[in-house]
């Protein structure tokens, strides 16, 4: 089972990731049933280009809506 689905917002994992390709949206899931789930490929749209990555190279971006933050006393 794929970790991400089409439409999910994801972030690339790593220290040498250029800022213009840091976060994007999954536009295609390419499973490889004969391989480990870690080798599921995802095409990610960064707005200026689309690139392919393996599942282990991505993580889900959590968006918190209407969050209230309190200041420490």
The pTM assigned to this predicted structure is 0.79
Tell me 61's DSSP state: P
**What pLDDT does 38 receive?**
87
When pLDDT is averaged across residues 8-31 and rounded to a whole number, the result is 92
**What pLDDT does 29 receive?**
96
Domain assignment of residue 56, given as a range: 9-60
- Structural domain includes residue 28: yes
Angle at 7 between CA 33 and CA 50, to 5 degrees: 80
- Structural domain includes residue 39: yes
- Structural domain includes residue 18: yes
Domain count, the chain: 1
When pLDDT is averaged across residues 6-19 and rounded to a whole number, the result is 91
Q: Indicate the length of the chain as a whole number.
A: 73
């Amino acid at each position: 089972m794929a970790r991400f689905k089409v439409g999910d917002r994801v972030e690339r994992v790593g220290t040498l990731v250029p800022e213009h390709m840091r976060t994007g949206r999954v536009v295609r899931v390419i499973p490889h049933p004969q391989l480990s789930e870690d080798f599921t490929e995802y095409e990610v749209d960064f707005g200026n280009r689309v690139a392919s990555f393996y599942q282990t190279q991505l993580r889900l971006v959590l968006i918190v809506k209407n969050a209230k933050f309190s200041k420490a006393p």
